[in-house]
Chain A
Amino acid sequence: MILAVAGGKGGVGKSTLAFELGAATGAVVVDADVGMADLPTGPGPDLHDVLAGRASAVEAVREDGPVTLLPCGRSLAGARAADVGRLGEALRDVERAYGDAVVDCPAGMRADAGVPLAVADACVVVASPRPYALADAVRTRELARELDAGLVAVAVNRAVDDPPEAVFEEVLGAPAVTVPADPRVARAVETGRPVCRVAPSSRAGRAISSLARAVDRCSRA
Chain B
Amino acid sequence: MEHDCTTESVAGATLVTVRVRNEAPVPRRVRVRNELPGPVLPPRREGVPERGWDESGFEGVLDAGEERALGYACPVASEDDRPVSVASLGRDEAERAADRENEAIRALGRARPPADAVPVPGGSLARDSLPDDAGGAATSDDARRGDEADGTHVDDTHADEDASERSVSEEASDGRDRGPRPPAVASWLDAVETRVRLAERLTDATATDAAAVLETAGDVSGLPSTVDADETTLRTVAARASELADRAAETDAGPTVDSLVAL
Spell out A's residues near B (CB within 8 Å).
34-35, 52-53, 76-85, 87-88, 106, 108-115, 117-119, 147-148
Let me know if B113 is at the binding interface, CB within 8 A. Answer: yes
A35 (CB) vs chain B CBs: closest residue: B111
Interface residues on B, range: 20 to 34
What is the bound-complex CA distance between A119 and B102, given in angstroms?
A: 10
A88 (CB) vs chain B CBs: closest residue: B101
Which one of B115-123, B164-172, B194-202, B224-232 is at the interface?
B115-123
Q: Is B109 a contact partner of A110 (Cβ separation < 8 A)? A: yes
Spell out B's residues near A (CB within 8 Å).
46-48, 100-105, 107-113, 115, 117-120, 148-152
Inter-chain CB contacts under 8 Å: number: 81
What is the bound-complex CA distance between A76 and B104, given in angstroms?
A: 22
Q: Is A148 a contact partner of B111 (Cβ separation < 8 A)? A: no
Q: Please give, as numbers and ranges, the residues of chain A lying within 8 Å of B101 by CB-CB distance.
A: 85, 87-88, 115, 118-119
What is the bound-complex CA distance between A167 and B150, given in angstroms?
A: 46
Q: Chain A: interface secondary structure?
A: helix
Q: Is A80 a contact partner of B149 (Cβ separation < 8 A)? A: no
A108/B104 contact (C-beta < 8 A), A76-B118, A77-B152, A81-B152 known:
no
What is the bound-complex CA distance between A84 and B104, given in angstroms?
A: 10
What is the bound-complex CA distance between A117 and B101, given in angstroms?
A: 9
What is the bound-complex CA distance between A53 and B151, given in angstroms?
A: 11
Q: Is A115 a contact partner of B105 (Cβ separation < 8 A)? A: yes
A35/B108 contact (C-beta < 8 A), A80-B151, A85-B47, A85-B101 known:
no
Q: Is B111 a contact partner of A110 (Cβ separation < 8 A)? A: yes
A114/B104 contact (C-beta < 8 A), A76-B113, A85-B48 known:
yes
